[in-house]
Structure 1
């Protein structure tokens, strides 16, 4: 099920979420962020009440659960950076950031959690790393938003894996931590909390679903998969985002990113083939 959860999360982030937020272009990124935090609380809070008997409670609380404050701040910053990139038409820079992120996840898994790669997996990670380095060297620079998106989400994945709390409970806790800042911003902004036109109100309300569901799936996958596997699967999201930015929104893709795209999919194929062989051997 870990693969299914990860697949659902990454396809949502690569295709559904960017289209949704482009439809909210009339609002500022900060306003959308504040609204999505509050709508996410309502949506996930309702799910927790409905499924409370099936959810693992985090009690008694331990010092480790305090890390949810850290994960809340990391995901809040990541959301804001992503919304600004979408608002300013920099989907390709966001895509590059999420290409770099899996490499950071693999590195954190090795350094912090002591995860070890099989030889074929090491080759796959090496190809992916070389492709990103080649693309950055070819372009001559690394956009700051790309690096920030990669770093914040890689650290977020690490923290959520270490905390090990139920995905819905963890996400609800994170949004509750961010809620005071969201309420303060909405109190001070001149924009109304509930837009008068029903289309905008519906799109803002749906941010609760398109925000919460992929993150819950991601947290569920993080509990079940190694960070290296989770990180390499994440290439699905920026690949979809890259295709969307070019085919739907007319951004121009440079040749170095096409080279990176091909090499990364080669790395994914190697990693998947090795995982398949290891799974067959274990079943045997």
Structure 2
């Protein structure tokens, strides 16, 4: 892999995670719209934008072959349920003043992915990495003990995205065709919901402001673009580099929540984040050595 190719991969990867990190600002601008309506528009408008991007990138449409492959198609139905669940909970959390919960969810997501690898792919962890898993688990347990309730939004985001990533890793389909099929599966339900909302005069779309309408339509772009950038990055840089980059998004969301939207960060909640950060730092030692060691050896 040449330096120019890897450099472009880093640019694509960083761009994808920057967009995901700043997404809460977009959802705050449409927080007067219900999470259900936002999700429906995100799905509906993602379809034409994904098709447009595929045309621009000269990607071959594989709809017929995917539908004929029953095992693959069923797998994409499952992944559709997982990603729409993830999108809905993220939207609900942000529009209900819980950006910190989304940040927590995506900080602990890698640990869920690690455990899936251990359980289903027979991947092994060193004692140091197991210690990291324990620390992250203690961070979540601290939340439960001090708040008297399970941080369901964070855990749902973490588990749904980890399972989604696991499913997509096992399915033999590229990211754009996969995203297109997933959104097409959800499309009729989302479109029916929008039509019903308009028919019963409950829709914000077309009834509030032109800016809101544009922002809801733009939901398709903000769904498709970072996924396309991420897919491009994954082909150009190693997986451990991607693992290193994935903490950009929740870090940005954490800063946005505490500094821009003034979400309350209590001592107990901060302690949970600290435990999780320490655990993640421990786990990242090996990937970071691999990434920077490789770059140093080439210079």
In which range does the TM-score fall when normalised by the shorter chain?
Answer: 0.7 to 0.9
Alignment partner for residue 193 of structure 2, among 170, 174, 185?
Answer: 185
TM-score by length of 2: 0.80
Moved more, 127-136 or 158-167: 127-136
Contact kept in structure 1, 2:132 and 2:280, CA below 8 Å = yes
Contact kept in structure 2, 1:71 and 1:159, CA below 8 Å = yes
Q: Is 2:162 the counterpart of 1:154?
A: yes
Q: Distance in 1 between matches of 2:123 and 2:86?
A: 25
Deviation at 1:158, TM superposition (A): 0.9
| Shift in CA distance, 239/26, structure 1 to aligned 2, threshold 3 Å | same
SS in structure 1 of the partner of residue 121 of structure 2: coil
Equivalent residue for 1:85?
93
Deviation at 1:253, TM superposition (A): 0.4
Q: Is 2:267 the counterpart of 1:255?
A: yes
Q: Distance in 2 between matches of 1:120 and 1:3?
A: 28
* RMSD of Structure 2 on Structure 1 (CA): 3.1
Q: Distance in 2 between matches of 1:21 and 1:276?
A: 32
Q: Is 2:223 the counterpart of 1:216?
A: no
Q: Is 2:9 the counterpart of 1:10?
A: no
Contact kept in structure 2, 1:135 and 1:257, CA below 8 Å = yes
Equivalent residue for 1:75?
83
Q: Is 2:209 the counterpart of 1:197?
A: yes
Equivalent residue for 1:104?
112
Q: Distance in 1 between matches of 2:46 and 2:221?
A: 7
Which runs of 5 or more residues in structure 1 are unaligned?
none
Alignment partner for residue 167 of structure 1, among 162, 165, 175?
Answer: 175
SS in structure 2 of the partner of residue 25 of structure 1: coil
Q: Distance in 1 between matches of 2:112 and 2:241?
A: 12
Q: Is 2:179 the counterpart of 1:139?
A: no
Deviation at 1:162, TM superposition (A): 1.0
Deviation at 1:164, TM superposition (A): 3.7
Deviation at 1:179, TM superposition (A): 0.5
Q: Distance in 1 between matches of 2:279 and 2:265?
A: 21
Q: Distance in 1 between matches of 2:116 and 2:20?
A: 22
Deviation at 1:260, TM superposition (A): 2.9
Equivalent residue for 2:253?
241
Deviation at 1:24, TM superposition (A): 0.8
Q: Distance in 2 between matches of 1:58 and 1:111?
A: 32
Equivalent residue for 2:103?
95
Contact kept in structure 1, 2:143 and 2:151, CA below 8 Å = no
SS in structure 2 of the partner of residue 103 of structure 1: helix
Map residues 117-132 of structure 1 onto 2, 5 A cutoff.
117-132=125-140
Contact kept in structure 2, 1:239 and 1:261, CA below 8 Å = no
Aligned residues: 281
Contact kept in structure 2, 1:102 and 1:235, CA below 8 Å = no
What do the CA deviations read for 1:223-281 (whole angstroms, capped 9, x no partner)? 8766x986675443333222211111121101123223333333343333322434537
TM-score by length of 1: 0.83
Deviation at 1:71, TM superposition (A): 0.9
SS in structure 1 of the partner of residue 149 of structure 2: coil
Contact kept in structure 2, 1:99 and 1:132, CA below 8 Å = no
